[in-house]
Structure 1
Amino acid sequence: MNRTPFVFIVFLNLVLIKGKDVTPKNDLEMKMLYLVDKWRTGDLDALPYPMPPLDEWRMPPFEGKYNGLGLQMTFSTTGMLITGLNNFTITEMNISEENLEGSAVLNYPFVNMEADNYKLNGRAYVVYKLRGSGRMNVRVRNTKLVFGFRVNNNGSKPVVDDLQLDYEIESLEVCNINFRYFLLYHSWHLLKSVIKCNAVIKLVSSCSKIEVNFCKFSW
């Protein structure tokens, strides 16, 4: 499973989609699915803990770094609006009533993230500059989350005190972003094969500058 540090946000989301989710095998799994259904539909008063609505999530501004796949970069965004978090399918769930340990597999078809402004600065293969700024729109498709957890029930309320998470992302579409790769034209195909980028490209100044718009990255 991929463990890339390029992660905007991770949620412990168990979302019930009627007719598609796994069938519960015990009372604890049934209760969990019931509560998740309330969360998905926005009935937050029925939940035992305060939870944010899933239809829209606002993420505060943040800064981060990425180093991998031949890329080194720093990036920052303004506040981000995330939609589509209420569209999950639970394909597997196993929760033990005896030791309060569990695991689940989630399939997440689509999530959209928008920010009014982003800034990016870095290099590809050390010598090629990567720069960008402006409005950002990121579309994440077909994400699979696999996680295990253990519940501590010693206090007045049970809490998750151990969580392990793996994930797979089929595609990440970055739209309305202008990445500028300053490199010779014959090097573009090498870079494109490294980052697996299918893009609409515009050649400027006798191919010494390449402007990439509407770029789709796949890992």
Structure 2
Amino acid sequence: MHYVYVIVLTCLLAPKTVTFGADVLPKTCAEKQVLNFLTEWREGVELPVTLPSLDVIQITSFENVYQGFGIKISYVTGDMKLEGVRNFTVQQLSLSSDYTRASATVRFPLLRLTSDNYTLKGRAYLLYPLSGAGFMNVTFQNVDVTVGITFVSKGGITQAGEINLNLTIGDVKINLANSSWPLNQVLSLRRMEIIEEYRSTFISASKDYLKFELDRVLGNTTTVDTIRTIANNYCKLTANN
């Protein structure tokens, strides 16, 4: 849920009749084609650009130290899987008339993050030893991701410029198998506060990843004029049919 500008270029080439369902109703021809592209990506339709599969997102292992609520632990996850991404709906979509600014809000009703082998060690309340190893399961409910992107021209080539990203999570449940008391109890009671502590880290990493992927897909040949010409020509064509 994040490739908004290149979507404008590629989706205009293949018109389809789409039932939007719970998705937002587009206001313009270009927005309609962007939404069409997103729904095809969601449904697994083969696309003219290479985008990651939404079935399972693979995430590399992660290690960190957490301290709070009387607990200090160091932990390492194994490689992780994120599932449920395909079930998104587009809540908001906007594209400027000059194709240099785009924004979207995407909702994921349920995301599940798992790892087959996490390990941790630490202490609770200074004295009580903590340990854990095994299966990790984190579920996120009603996740809204809002992205705003401004595109800039450098040497005639379009690249992602400023990116704004916001994240809201309705609820989260965390379970660490084979972990010492009171880890799961603390995670259950303080889950939203703990997630909030990681918000800025997640947003920063997501913005860097999004910019990298946008620039990769746009390559070194895409220009604003090319996008605008294709979009205008297609919208004129469909208006006359």
Task: Give the TM-score range, shorter chain.
Answer: 0.5 to 0.7
Match of 2:231 in 1: none
Give CA-to-partner distance per residue, 1:18-76, whole Å, 9 cap, x none: 311111112332222122122111123x233x111101122222223445566544322
The TM-score normalised by the length of structure 1 is: 0.66
State whether residues 141 and 172 of structure 2, in contact with CA within 8 Å, keep that contact through their aligned partners in structure 1: yes
TM-score by length of structure 2 reads: 0.61
Asked if 1:217 is matched to 2:218, the reply is no
**Deviation sequence 1:196-216 (CA, Å, 0-9, x none):** 725xxxxxxxxxxxxxxxxx8
Q: Which amino acid aligns with 2:120?
A: L
Query: Residue in 1 aligned with 2:167?
Result: 167
Number of residue pairs aligned between Structure 1 and Structure 2:
180
For residue 9 of structure 2, what is the aligned residue in structure 1?
none
Query: Which secondary structure state, in structure 2, belongs to the residue aligned with residue 217 of structure 1?
Result: helix
Q: In 2, are the aligned partners of 1:61 and 1:80 still within 8 Å (CA)?
A: yes
Structure 2 counterpart of 1:197, from 150, 169, 188:
188
| Structure-2 change in CA distance of 1:92 and 1:70 (3 Å) | farther
- Tell whether the 8 Å contact from 2:132 to 2:176 is kept in structure 1 after alignment: no
Matches within 5 A, 1:115-194: 115-123=115-123, 129-152=129-152, 158-181=158-181
1:12 aligns with 2:2: yes
Give the share of equivalent positions with the same residue, in percent: 27
Aligned to 1:185: none
Q: How many angstroms apart in 1 are the aligned matches of 2:109 and 2:149?
A: 23
1:82 is the counterpart of 2:72: no
Question: Match of 1:101?
Answer: 101
More helix by share: 2
Tell me the residue number matched to 2:209: none
**What's the CA shift string for 1:147-204, capped at 9, x where partnerless?**
211123557875433321111112221235233247xxxxx9xxx6xx5725xxxxxx
Alpha-carbon RMSD across the aligned residues, in angstroms, is: 3.3
Higher relative contact order, chain-length normalized (CA < 8 Å, sep 6+): 2
Instruction: Say if 2:47 is the partner of 1:40.
Output: no
Distance 1:217 1:75 in 2: 17
**Cα 1:30/1:155, change in 2 over 3 Å:** farther
Kindly provide the amino acid, as one letter, of the partner of residue 188 in structure 2: C
Q: Using the TM superposition, name which of 163-172 and 60-69 deviates more.
A: 60-69
| Equivalent position amino acid for 1:105 in 2 | T
Structure 1 unaligned residues grouped into runs of 5+: 1-10, 183-187, 199-215
Cα pair distance change 1:162/1:127, threshold 3 Å: farther
**2-structure distance, mates of 1:123, 1:22:** 48
Task: Tell me: CA distance 1:175–1:33, structure 2 relative to 1, closer, same or farther (3 Å).
Answer: same
**Helix, strand or coil for the counterpart of 1:180?**
coil
